């Protein structure tokens, strides 16, 4: 699936106090970004984690590639406002089990005959690029839509959304830098069937679901589990019983913390469960937000904590998010 931890540590210029090599950083900067990538958008969080190193490269060599002049760029990269979590006292395991018990009683309203699974989500990642230019003076979210068939073939469409600012001064900086992202950028493509791949139903038991998420691994770490859960909700329409099994797997995972209730970026109220992880080289907090009535995954949010290395972002900044909007099967 991927060895992202090792790859990220090899790319990360901040590890062990190593100095940044300009040519190496230029090569990292040349890597494709999710907004304009022609690759199939199967794993959004793979981009999110990897772009931490890419963002470091971008900030170091920005004087080389910035066509508008560095004087127009902010000292720190502009990031989205963090969500406001309203902490609760119950344990994460108990809240997750309570949601699972409620969800597993729901009827499975997915169509019995279907051809396509349809997904819609909004996303943002640190060091997003628009039209080949690195954007540090505005948050340019993406709207992604994917249609996947049983044989593994897929089509997708990605367009940038209007820029977002935390205050008017950020907007002024963005305008001085050339208003990159003011016009929407659209990318779409498709892929053919995957050899030997057909849509299969995940198990509905906790043990079976853990094995399915582990995908052949003997051990799946909490950080990797969070990544895989988010990915699976981007590419599979779960039944209520399957969602309950996912919640029970998280309930038995070490280090999961209940963050309380929160309103996501689409204005929906959910319950958030987080872990802290430094497997990518820098400490981050990852939160999955679930609808307490349906068990659907509403959002995946990631923040960098106190040690931001050379990423040139403030501590506790959001470095990536995915807001899930639609997950359905179509006849």
d(CA 272, CA 269): 10
State in Å, rounded, how far the first CA of the chain is from the last one: 30
According to the model, what pLDDT value does residue 50 have? 34
Q: Residues 29-55: pLDDT tens digits? A: 333 333 323 233 434 443 333 333 333
According to the model, what pLDDT value does residue 21 have? 33
According to the model, what pLDDT value does residue 197 have? 54
Q: Residues 90-139: pLDDT tens digits? A: 899 999 999 999 999 999 999 989 999 999 999 998 866 666 666 677 89
Token digits of residue 136: 């540090």
According to the model, what pLDDT value does residue 176 have? 85
Residues of the chain with pLDDT under 70: 1-75, 127-135, 195-199
Mutual angle of helices 222-233 and 44-60, in 10-degree steps: 110
According to the model, what pLDDT value does residue 167 have? 87
According to the model, what pLDDT value does residue 59 have? 29
Residue keyed to tokens 């022609």? 38
The C-alpha torsion from 190 through 328 and 233 to 149, rounded to 10°, is -30
d(CA 232, CA 212): 10
According to the model, what pLDDT value does residue 170 have? 87
Q: Using an 8 Å Cβ cutoff, are 321 and 272 in contact?
A: no
List, as one string, the DSSP characters of 209-278: HHHHHHTT-S---HHHHHHHHHHHHTT----HHHHHHHHHHHHTSTT-EEEEEEE-TTS-EEEEEEEEE-
According to the model, what pLDDT value does residue 281 have? 79
Q: What b/e readout covers 37-63, taking b as 16+ CB neighbours within 10 angstroms?
A: eeeebebbbbbbbbbbbbbbbbbbbbe
> Cα 322 from chain centroid?
5
Check the CA dihedral 132-309-306-261 and report its sign. positive
Beta bridge partners of 318: 303
Q: What b/e readout covers 272-309, taking b as 16+ CB neighbours within 10 angstroms?
A: bbbbebebbbbbbbbbbbbbbeebbbbbbbbbbeeebb
According to the model, what pLDDT value does residue 238 have? 97
Mutual angle of helices 206-214 and 222-233, in 10-degree steps: 90
According to the model, what pLDDT value does residue 198 have? 58
d(CA 128, CA 54): 10
């Amino acid at each position: 699936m991927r060895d992202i931890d090792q790859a990220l540590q090899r790319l990360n210029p901040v590890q062990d106090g190593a100095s940044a090599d300009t040519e190496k950083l230029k090569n990292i900067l040349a890597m494709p970004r999710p907004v304009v990538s022609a690759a199939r958008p199967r794993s959004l969080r793979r981009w999110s984690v990897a772009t931490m190193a890419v963002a470091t490269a971008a900030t170091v060599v920005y004087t080389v590639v910035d066509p508008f002049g560095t004087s127009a760029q902010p000292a720190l990269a502009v990031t989205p406002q963090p969500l406001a979590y309203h902490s609760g006292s119950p344990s994460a395991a108990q809240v997750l089990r309570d949601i699972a018990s409620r969800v597993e009683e729901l009827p499975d309203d997915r169509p019995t005959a279907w051809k396509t699974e349809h997904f819609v989500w909004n996303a943002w990642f640190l060091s997003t690029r628009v039209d080949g230019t690195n954007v540090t003076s505005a948050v340019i979210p993406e709207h992604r839509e994917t249609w996947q068939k049983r044989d593994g073939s897929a089509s997708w469409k990605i367009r940038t959304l209007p820029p977002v600012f935390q205050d008017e001064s950020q907007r002024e900086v963005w305008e001085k830098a050339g208003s990159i992202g003011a016009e929407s950028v659209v990318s779409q493509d498709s892929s053919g069937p995957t050899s030997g791949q057909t849509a299969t139903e995940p198990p509905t038991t906790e043990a079976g679901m853990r094995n399915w998420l582990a995908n052949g691994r003997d051990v799946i770490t909490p950080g990797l589990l969070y990544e895989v859960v988010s990915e699976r909700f981007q590419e599979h329409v779960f039944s209520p019983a399957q969602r309950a099994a996912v919640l029970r797997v998280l309930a038995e995972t070490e280090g999961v913390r209940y963050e309380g209730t929160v309103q996501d970026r689409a204005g929906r109220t959910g319950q958030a469960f987080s872990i802290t992880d430094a497997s990518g080289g820098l400490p981050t907090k990852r939160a999955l937000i679930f609808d307490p009535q349906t068990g659907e995954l509403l959002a995946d949010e990631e923040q960098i904590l106190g040690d931001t290395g050379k990423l040139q972002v403030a501590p506790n900044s959001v470095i990536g998010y995915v807001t899930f909007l639609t997950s359905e099967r179509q006849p």
